[in-house]
Structure 1
Amino acid sequence: MTSFDRRTVLQGLGTAVMLPWLECLNKSSSAFAMSSNTTNPLRTAFMFIPNGVHAPDWIPQKDVHGSDGLTPLLEPIAPQRHRISVLSGLDHHNAKALGDGPGDHARSSSCFLTAAHPRKTSGEDIEAGISVDQVMAKALSGRTRFDSLELGCEGSMGTGGCDSGYACVYSGNISWSSPDRPSPKESNPRALYDRLFAAAQTPEAKRAQTERFMTRRSVLDFVREDAKYFESKLGAGDRHRLDEYFEGLRGVERQISYLDQAELATSGVPFERPSVHPENYRDHLRLMLDLMTVAFQTDQTRIATMMWANEGTNRPFPFLGVKEGHHHLSHHKGDASMIEGIRTINRFQSEEFARFIGRMAKIPEGEGSLLDHSMILFGSAIRDGNRHDHDDLPILMAGGEAAGLKHGHNQYIEGKTPLANLFVSMMQTMGAEVDAFGDSTGTISLSRS
């Protein structure tokens, strides 16, 4: 079979399209070594949901749900149950007040991946800790185009008070490259797309890129001839993977073209148009998750974080029939109608997570799928939004079976175990030489017989 360099791309008129992982690309240079001993690279994604959950209907109880049962708010993950584990009993001690008074939302997001207690300040003297994703990114530095991607559906926030004396930056970021430096996230899908697939540098390339946007032609149209030439040298399996990848990329482009059409439709409005985002939150979330998937598939990065919304967000969900704000509903104080609103939001989150897992599981890679070669952690550092507690957190794990992870069960972890223990295990699985992190006290087995 013909051998190609791992960074092989299809180029045409200033556009570079990164390829998915193909068998003919396995003969990689040492600069792009795997993060484990598997044939294909291992990735990790951390997904954050704000405002906690309605714990009575989300967190499983051992004497009620056993090893396999799902709570009402986790029922939407049933189609992907064999690919997902529910972890109970994990805590974030450093998200608690510890003498600093109110501010649980800011502490939740800033502690989520750092396992550190943030300094209470609304000024520029912020301090939390380096986050687990950035430890992984440093361990794998240079092996992919981007060491990590930080994504979200709401923009990062800066200094200034947002939560009881805590700077807004704490509520708007979960990734920290150093204790005093958050890693700003990208929430604009078109900007992310350009960053991944249309990074034209030369004047000629920029002119070609302008022509592409002006004529509304697909990026793939510009590389059709190169693709045909490349496909002629591939085996049947690689041609199938390339076809599926190109079809997925066309779908992403079609979604972005809808945003362009919205821009044209509102071009006559006598005020500056805001940053381009899908009007519907579901569409925005799905597009960002799809772009992250393609970034993994093309091996442009192996580490990603995704904030489904900023901590403390008061976003309504009108497409779900929920007109009141998320944060407001989380403080329901037992009101039945408000509880139903927060339950609707939590079920939606479970549905979208299951959709994402299902899509990754359908992408072939090696002898398994892209999901098999990706560890996905989903959850919050607040257990119940009505209580602002940080014990027995809502945490799901999926994927990573190529690295030995096993799923399909509820795992009850005894004795107020730090979530940081799980982070240590994940970092070690990714090849980082780490024995401790944050308030960790050990490790957690990621496999189950």
Structure 2
Amino acid sequence: MRVVRPVLSRRTLLRGAGAAMALPFLEAMMPGARAADRASRPKRLQVFYSPNGMTMPGFQPAETGAGFALPPTLEPLAPHRENFSVISGLGHPQAAAMGDRPAGHGRSCPAFLTGAHARQTEGPDIRAGISMDQVFAAHLGDATPLASLELGIDQASLLGSCDINYSCAYTNGISWLTPSVPLPVEANPRAVFERLFGDGDMDEAGRLAQLRRQSSILDFVMEDARRLSGELGMEDRRKLDEYLDATRAIEKRIQRSAASPATAQAGSLEQPAGIPGDFAEHVKLMIDLQVLAMQADITRVGTFMIGRELSNRTYPEIGVPDSHHMLSHHGNNPEKMAQLGKINRYHMEFFAYYLQRMKDTRDGEGSLLDRTLVIRGSAFGDSNEHDFMDLPVVVAGGLAKGGRHLRVEKGTSMSNLMLAGLQSLDVPAESFGDSTAALRDAIDG
């Protein structure tokens, strides 16, 4: 006897006791489409950003093409050689002064994803451009519950620690909804989790009950989950169980962080409940939330800043007691450059963790990484010189050719790469930022 499985809408939710949560992409949402599985999966865009530039000799491979030797900063990516490529020579001409007063971070950071020249101002009349991620989000429309997710590690700075003559808005984030509206970065994992699963779909009574009982959102929806699981095929049941387990694990980590609020490294301000005191745990938790959001198709667009531009964070856990920004202006001192190189490599280890998490998370017959374009970079190459014309850029994921080092003519606008990326994401764009032509070689090979 033929068993008829239910056909589920992509907007199907698990519900219960005033709570609701999205489902991962299941085969039951795509009946009869297994043969065209890969092509029918949604495409995604992720951007991973490190502040304060790089020690380029430790990042940039000596050889071009395939089989290049991994320099020290890129060594953590060794397990993912075929999933990423290094693109050398890209820059942002719009980060130049163009008659404005001297500055570096305040112009380069907003140019990173917009290809636009930031207006010099410390007031509210900020202006840059629409960022690549938001162009893609606008193209997707209401395909997902959240248009995009902007995550980071550092809380926004409103006073101090901002580039002279430039508003803090220019260095707090990299995502711009419009030329005058930068999108805020969320650094608190509890707030991110509630945005993904609690806001809008959990009524006030349910939220209060959850807080009183310190229970998981899964406790509210498990009855519905068990009912649905009994109607699914074996592969979908496995995928649903994997998703629920991952959600439960993240909740527990957030609850542990909230129970023991830590003290921020800089100064004596107490961190908000939900932010882990351990930097590595904080970064991995935010990455896991980003992956979970992609897995559940809550959004297909995400940016992650492992530190805000001009970050003065210290890294005693890896033997770097001096501040990141101070070390980025090393004056070619070998000891300071070595310390900065440690930070660069440390940040790359978390990017490797991100790639592994995306690889390990199934999406149909493949993984989340298979249908994602990932851009990883910084607003500077040589941070000591505030060099914005030779950036450390990596493209990764299944939507771009991997396993090579491509060197383009130095000074080629990074907007050309972003235009090619948008086209690979099926956005019918003919230009972006200050692009001159789509750099298809960086995507297609």
Give TM-score, length-normalised by structure 1: 0.91
Question: In structure 2, what is the equivalent of residue 3 of structure 1?
Answer: 7
Question: In structure 2, what is the equivalent of residue 31 of structure 1?
Answer: none
Decide whether the 8 Å contact of 1:87 with 1:413 is kept in 2. Answer: yes
* Letter of the 2:226 counterpart: K
Question: In structure 2, what is the equivalent of residue 38 of structure 1?
Answer: 39
Shift of 1:218: 2.2
Deviations 1:347-405 (A, max 9, x none): 11111101110111011112211011111111012001111101221011111x2x4x2
* Letter of the 1:413 counterpart: V
Alignment of 1:41-440 (within 5 A): 41-62=42-63, 67-158=67-158, 162-199=162-199, 205-263=203-261, 274-276=271-273, 277-399=275-397, 401=398, 403=399, 405-440=400-435
Shift of 1:415: 4.6
SS at structure 2 position matched to 1:46: strand
* Letter of the 1:279 counterpart: G
Deviations 1:264-292 (A, max 9, x none): x99xxxx9954231112221111111111
Question: In structure 2, what is the equivalent of residue 22 of structure 1?
Answer: 26
* Letter of the 1:330 counterpart: S
* Letter of the 1:428 counterpart: Q
Instruction: Determine the C-alpha separation between the residues in 2 that align with 1:89 and 1:45.
Output: 21
Structure-2 change in CA distance of 1:121 and 1:191 (3 Å): same
* Letter of the 1:366 counterpart: G
SS at structure 1 position matched to 2:433: coil
Length, aligned pairs only: 432
SS at structure 2 position matched to 1:61: coil
Decide whether the 8 Å contact of 1:149 with 1:303 is kept in 2. Answer: yes
Decide whether the 8 Å contact of 2:373 with 2:396 is kept in 1. Answer: yes
Structure-2 change in CA distance of 1:251 and 1:62 (3 Å): same
Shift of 1:216: 2.1
Decide whether the 8 Å contact of 1:159 with 1:169 is kept in 2. Answer: no
Shift of 1:337: 2.5
RMSD of Structure 2 on Structure 1 (CA): 2.3
* Letter of the 1:149 counterpart: L
Decide whether the 8 Å contact of 2:161 with 2:310 is kept in 1. Answer: no
Instruction: Determine the C-alpha separation between the residues in 1 that align with 2:374 and 2:307.
Output: 17
Shift of 1:147: 1.1
More off after superposition, 344-353 vs 407-416: 407-416
Decide whether the 8 Å contact of 1:39 with 1:366 is kept in 2. Answer: no
Structure-2 change in CA distance of 1:175 and 1:2 (3 Å): same
* Letter of the 2:86 counterpart: V
SS at structure 2 position matched to 1:390: coil
Question: In structure 1, what is the equivalent of residue 436 of structure 2?
Answer: 441
* Letter of the 2:211 counterpart: F
Structure-2 change in CA distance of 1:73 and 1:272 (3 Å): closer
More off after superposition, 335-344 vs 286-295: 335-344
Q: Structure 1 unaligned segments of length 5 or more: list them.
A: 29-33
* Letter of the 2:112 counterpart: F
Shift of 1:210: 1.9
Shift of 1:66: 6.5
* Letter of the 1:106 counterpart: G
Structure-2 change in CA distance of 1:324 and 1:83 (3 Å): same
Deviations 1:34-77 (A, max 9, x none): 9x9921100101121100011111112337x8653211111111
* Letter of the 1:172 counterpart: N
Deviations 1:96-119 (A, max 9, x none): 222323211111211000101111
Instruction: Determine the C-alpha separation between the residues in 2 that align with 1:123 and 1:423.
Output: 29
More off after superposition, 361-370 vs 214-223: 214-223
* Letter of the 2:272 counterpart: S
Give TM-score, length-normalised by structure 2: 0.92
